[in-house]
């Protein structure tokens, strides 16, 4: 039982480490994405982001203007979805880590209780062994005492018989 609990505790620790690694990777990816967005915003600020009117007026033709507008919309929507997905994944991983930590703590407590119970049983076993040894020793003494008393009784009976005869 204790071995299986040890094994489960090691397994849960491995899951926690894997989850922590995934969280770190996702946080790194999120930071990288934020940096890219920051750089893009800085570029747009320095070079100026063309308004929709400028995009339309500076386009070579109407199709090019529509294409640019659609591209910017798609890019913004993709980045928004990506950020939301990463935040959701980070939240899920954090929740999973919390659940795993709780499970590990429960298993550790259970393991500690089993070990404590095992040591209590071992202590009780030693105590019972000592009591049994004391009982056997006392039994031997009492048998010897009884034997001595029986012999004394036999001697007294023999003495009484000789006195009455």
Domain borders along the chain are 2-134
Q: Provide the 10 A C-beta neighbour count for residue 12.
A: 20
Per-residue pLDDT of the chain (165 residues; tens, 9 = 90+): 667 767 777 888 788 888 888 888 878 887 887 788 778 767 766 776 666 666 666 767 778 777 877 877 887 788 888 778 878 877 888 887 888 888 878 878 878 888 888 889 899 999 999 999 999 999 999 999 999 999 999 999 999 999 887
Rounded to whole angstroms, the Cα distance separating 41 from 36 reads 9
Total-model pTM = 0.53
Rounded to whole angstroms, the Cα distance separating 132 from 103 reads 43
Q: What share of the chain is helix, strand, coil (3-state, %, to 5)?
A: 95, 0, 5
């Amino acid at each position: 039982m204790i071995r299986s609990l040890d094994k489960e505790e090691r397994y849960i620790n491995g899951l926690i480490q894997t989850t922590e690694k995934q969280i770190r990777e996702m946080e790194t990816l999120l930071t990288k994405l934020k940096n890219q967005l920051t750089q893009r915003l800085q570029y747009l600020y320095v070079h100026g982001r063309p308004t929709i009117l400028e995009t339309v007026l500076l386009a070579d033709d109407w199709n090019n203007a529509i294409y640019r507008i659609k591209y910017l919309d798609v890019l913004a929507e993709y980045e928004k979805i990506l950020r939301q997905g990463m935040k959701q994944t980070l939240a899920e991983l954090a929740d999973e880590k919390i659940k795993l930590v709780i499970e590990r703590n429960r298993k550790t407590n259970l393991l500690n209780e089993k070990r404590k119970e095992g040591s209590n049983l071992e202590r009780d076993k030693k105590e019972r062994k000592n009591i049994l040894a004391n009982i056997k020793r006392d039994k031997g003494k009492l048998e010897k005492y009884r034997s001595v008393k029986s012999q004394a009784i036999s001697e007294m009976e023999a003495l009484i018989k000789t006195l009455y005869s």
